[in-house]
Structure 1
């Protein structure tokens, strides 16, 4: 599996109505976003069977970024059963994302 790229056009259809999804709002030019990519790839390898991990490029999809109040990048939003539950602004260590996800996997 790999991290799915989503956009304004397919965002709603891409968020699963059941289960946990992690959506990274970032941009190609953003240095912290580049650091986050290998962290998300590691998470995808470790728990990708339990969590859907996706990315939104805020430059290409400003509508979704605005809808979710993304003011800084990266912003990672965790969805549970289609609803936003957690929002992490700025780069965090892998364990922060992992422990946040774990709360919603039960």
Structure 2
């Protein structure tokens, strides 16, 4: 896992996401997913840029299918946003960095 990114698993989900304060961006991905590899460098850049302001996690949907099922993940990459343990938004597919930044800035200012 890249610096500043938490590898999420079913066993860590409650502690790292649901019981956390602040904004968390979770990338639902799988190793075989081409679009996931395309957006991965953007996720890593945002983890560095927002270090200390948000938590960034990645959840491998192949290894943790129960979490993906719980949140109705039908396509990957899905980027899900949580604030104080509550899901507040999500984006499916590859999107420009500017869209993710504006979503994070909005969540941080609300």
Please indicate, yes or no, whether the TM-score normalized by the shorter chain is above 0.5: yes
Residue 9 of structure 2 corresponds to 7
Structure 1: which 5+ residue stretches go unaligned? none
| Larger helix fraction of residues | 2
Q: How many residues align?
A: 106
TM-score, normalization by structure 2 = 0.92
Tell me the residue number matched to 2:77: 74
Deviations 1:75-102 (A, max 9, x none): 0100011100011011111111110011
Paired position in structure 1 for 2:38:
35
Unaligned ranges ≥5, structure 2: none
**TM norm structure 1:** 0.95
C-alpha displacement of 1:2: 2.3
Which string of whole-angstrom CA distances, capped at 9 and with x for unpartnered residues, describes residues 9-41 of structure 1?
111111153100000001011001001110011
